[in-house]
Amino acid sequence: KEFVNKVLGPTDDITRFEYMQKTNKENGPALVGVEVQSRQDYHLLVQRLHEFQIQFTELNKNDTLFGYLV
Q: Which residue has the higher pLDDT, 36 or 63?
A: 36
Task: Dump pLDDT digits (tens) for 2-57.
Answer: 788 889 999 999 999 888 776 666 677 888 899 999 999 999 999 999 999 999 98
What predicted TM-score, i.e. pTM, was given to this entire model? 0.79
32 in Cβ contact with 4 (< 8 Å): no
11, β-bridge pairs = none
**Backbone φ and ψ of 55, nearest 5°:** -75, 130
